[in-house]
Structure 1
Amino acid sequence: MSAPTAPISGNQQRRMRSAARFYAVQALFQMEQTAQTADQVVSEFLNHRFGADYEGIEMLDGDVSLFRRLVNDAVNWQARIDQMTDRGLVAKWPIARLDPTLRALFRVAGAELTQSDTPPRVVINEYVEIARAFFAEGREAGFVNAVLDHMARAARPEAF
């Protein structure tokens, strides 16, 4: 018989959702760089990243169902999401020219904007924070904010 588990607090749930989003961006980046399938990458992340302990550094536990959904939706809806992203970029800078980390970020954020009921402002704020984690200088965070705002207005105009 397993020990009873403590209820998860609202703050812990938010951290787990944030971790799932962060891991989903990393997973999409890894898929692009290694040509692994979504199933392979999801399995690897669940087995080796979620809650793992590496030399005393504990990786965050993430919301597994959100992580799976974001990766799968980003893959399944990639063409639509890329078109939305392209419309948010300047004409001479299509998504194919973006840094692969930004491309992965826009795809995961686009999946959440188009395939979930998460409020657009929450999605934008979460992925701007992820951009800050990946890009220390901060210029990318403003860029991400602007493109995601455009994408959110296109995906859910009723929310604005």
Structure 2
Amino acid sequence: MSQPNSKPKPKKSRARSAARLAAVQALYQQEMEGTPTPILLHEFHQHRFGQTIDEVTMVDAEMDFFDDLVRGVTARAAEIDGLVSKRLAEGWKLERLDRSMRAILRAGTYELIARPDVTVGTVIDEYLDVAHAFFDEKDVKFVNGLLDGIARDVRG
């Protein structure tokens, strides 16, 4: 008997998943290097999407969705950081989290507040997939709990 998750994702879904991963990578790069958003977007459009890097062909991402995520997180940074910080344990500061973790939480939070066309379940599942690429199961559970709490805060 096949598992429901064993079916390949439709092309649009794969393109959105790739956009989410790329957005997290772009947000991480922006925090590390201070790259202005227009330059960052251009770099990803021209040199990342669909390119072969280290013998691995990068999946084409839905560029408009990617752009919305990166621009949206940047434009609403204070609001997003406030929502994430509110859900951290007492005594924890956002700055204490790994930069990759901050990028995942920021992108996921942006989708929850600004993309009502994407279901809460989809947002959380997609960012858990991204978290699995960078972190162990304990940290993935942390992402799950935080995004779930933020979803309750912003979507009821």
After TM superposition, is the score higher than 0.5? yes
The amino acid that maps onto 2:133 is: A
Equivalent position SS for 1:114:
helix
Q: CA deviation at 1:55?
A: 4.5
Counterpart residue number, 1:119 = 119
The amino acid that maps onto 2:104 is: L
Cα distance per residue 1:39-70 (max 9 Å; x no partner): 11111111111010125310111000000000
Counterpart residue number, 2:132 = 132
| Matching of residue 66 in structure 1 with residue 35 in structure 2 | no
| Matching of residue 104 in structure 1 with residue 109 in structure 2 | no
Percent identical across equivalent pairs? 36
Counterpart residue number, 1:156 = 155
Equivalent position SS for 1:29:
helix
| TM-score of the pair, normalised by structure 1 | 0.89
Counterpart residue number, 2:146 = 147
Q: Deviation above 3 Å: which 4+ runs of structure 1?
A: none
Mapped to 2, the partners of 1:124 and 1:54 lie a distance apart of 28
Counterpart residue number, 1:3 = none
Counterpart residue number, 2:3 = none
| Structure 1: unaligned runs, 5 residues or longer | 1-9
Go from structure 1 to structure 2 and tell me whether the alpha carbon gap of 1:55 and 1:106 turns closer, same or farther (over 3 Å shift): closer
Alignment of 1:27-106 (within 5 A): 27-106=26-105
The number of residue pairs the alignment matches comes to 148
What RMSD, in angstroms, separates the aligned Cα atoms of the two structures?
A: 1.3
Mapped to 2, the partners of 1:54 and 1:80 lie a distance apart of 35
Cα distance per residue 1:91-117 (max 9 Å; x no partner): 111211110001111111111111111
